Amino acid sequence: MAAGDVATAEACYLRALALEPLHGPARANLGYLKERQGALAEAEFHYLQAIALMPDHAQLYQNLGVLLLREKRFAECESAMRTAVEAAPESASAWCQLGVLLACTHREAQGEECYRQALALDPEHARARFNLSYLLLIQARFAEGWRMLDARWQFDAVPQSFDCALWTGEPLEGKSVIVCLEAGHGDMIHFIRYVSQLKAARVAVLCQPGLKRLLATLAGVDEVYALGEQVPEDWDFWTRAMRLPGLFGTEMGSIPAPIPYLSAEPELVRHWRDQLPQQGLRVGLAWKGNPNFENDADRSLPSLMTLAPLAAVPAHFVSLQKGAGEDEALRPPAGMSLHAIGPQLGDFADTAAVIANLDLVISVDTAVAHLAGAMGKPCWLLLPDYRCDWRWMTERDDSPWYPSMRLFRRGEGEGWAVAVDRIARELQALPRTAGHKGQTP
């Protein structure tokens, strides 16, 4: 299994169980293998069999708890996680996992206690530090939150680093610095605003290929490189975009918001102006994010059909969907005027030019929403109740990061229909030429 030969590993475990049906470790490992394959029902069966054979094995309860959390079987998950802590109270990992369950079910104070207990046992426990950072940041407890957030690179792959010194806040006058990419396009768009504060003699950005043209519009940037390109090595310092808020001591009252800090190329704006309807309300839609994101099933809509109530609004809708869900734009809900331009969007510079020609963007929590916010375009953001990202905080309907954004939250225990119906009502109330008259939805 460690070598990735899953089929042979499974055959070995099954052979071991044929020779010794009560072999607990073989049963436990088979459960873990099945969980990695996504066969959760089989994995649960094997975990329960292994627990019956090894009832004091704390890691088995942890594994079972993680599986149950994936299926949102919260009561059963909590029972398994608490049993793991009772069986191994010295285990930082067990305390951390219990904290995850409590934080995900909106018991933040109890979750924080678990994370801090994990860190008392192991001060360098990367997962506990990272999970605590999310809990702190969602409460705007920024000073400690930023410090904890950097733990993510202890367990995530580091896409790029340099031999020069990592910038930790030293004076940059007369120096050069390169800002490296974050894992998500949205993260990069969100935190690239800090580049204008670096005040170095030479500032460069290394980003995902799809962002290169867009980030060239950013004030204060001398060079932009795409991942995979040849990048000079002659820098005094390097850093990552998401480290910058902490290095600049960002608090709620000091969030830099020179909106817009990203813009579309004028020639591209003119091109897309000719491609879109000239009259009426023009609304961009993005209903799915990157399917590889761990919480995508909760933040993305099941399909474009979830937005069917918007079809009753007399507006021209424009699909900003690229990749996952892009083909759905060819089959819009009945009565919806939807322009399926996804295949024509080459990168985020094209998307920015389209957004510049719209009155409003309606999006789930994905890079399109960040782009609209960074451009100062009115954006209505649909947010999940379960594991909502920290930057949207809790119970707010606005964002301190993006003044032009309104937040529409899915209520606890509700489907998306309630939030979508509310958006449809609010959209219906807008003037049909809202953006053209300079009004802000």
**Interval 16-31 mean pLDDT:** 97
**Interval 420-429 mean pLDDT:** 96
Burial of 296 (0-12, 13-18, 19+ CB in 10 A): middle
**Interval 228-238 mean pLDDT:** 94
CATH superfamily of the domain spanning 266-437: Glycogen Phosphorylase B; (3.40.50.2000)
Tens-digit pLDDT profile for residues 298-312: 999 999 999 999 999
What per-residue confidence (pLDDT) applies to 322? Answer: 95
**Interval 113-124 mean pLDDT:** 97
Q: Which helix (H) or strand (E) segment is 6 a member of?
A: helix 6-19
Kindly tell me if the per-residue pLDDT of 437 is higher than 50. Answer: no
Tens-digit pLDDT profile for residues 178-225: 999 888 999 999 999 999 999 889 999 999 999 999 999 999 899 999
Average pLDDT, the chain: 94
Q: What percent of the chain has pLDDT over 90?
A: 88
Kindly tell me if the per-residue pLDDT of 146 is higher than 90. Answer: yes
Kindly tell me if the per-residue pLDDT of 347 is higher than 70. Answer: yes
pLDDT-based confidence at residue 152 (cuts at 50, 70, 90): confident
What CATH topology corresponds to 165-248? Answer: Rossmann fold (3.40.50)
Tens-digit pLDDT profile for residues 395-406: 899 999 999 999
pTM, rounded to two decimals: 0.93
The yes-or-no answer to whether 165-248 and 266-437 have a common fold is yes
- Residue 278 CA to chain centroid, in angstroms? 34
CA distance from start to end of the chain: 54
pLDDT-based confidence at residue 439 (cuts at 50, 70, 90): very low
pLDDT-based confidence at residue 159 (cuts at 50, 70, 90): low
**Identity (one letter) of the amino acid at 99?**
G
- Which among 49, 47, 44, 69 is positioned nearest to 60, based on CA atoms? 47
Kindly tell me if the per-residue pLDDT of 438 is higher than 70. Answer: no
Listed by start position, the domains of the chain span 6-154, 165-248, 266-437
- Which among 230, 232, 182 is positioned nearest to 208, based on CA atoms? 182
Kindly tell me if the per-residue pLDDT of 258 is higher than 90. Answer: no
Tens-digit pLDDT profile for residues 59-99: 999 999 999 999 999 999 999 999 999 999 999 999 999 99
pLDDT-based confidence at residue 393 (cuts at 50, 70, 90): very high
**Dihedrals phi, psi of 177, to nearest 5 degrees:** -145, 140
**Interval 12-28 mean pLDDT:** 97
- Secondary structure (3-state) at 203: strand
Question: Is there a cis peptide before residue 314, judged by omega within 30 degrees of 0?
Answer: no
Q: Which residues of 235-256 are buried (b: 16+ CB within 10 A; e: fewer)?
A: bbbbbbbbbbbbbbebeeeeee
Q: Which CATH number fits domain 6-154: 3.30.70.100, 3.30.1600.10, 3.30.420.10, 1.25.40.10?
A: 1.25.40.10
What per-residue confidence (pLDDT) applies to 293? Answer: 86
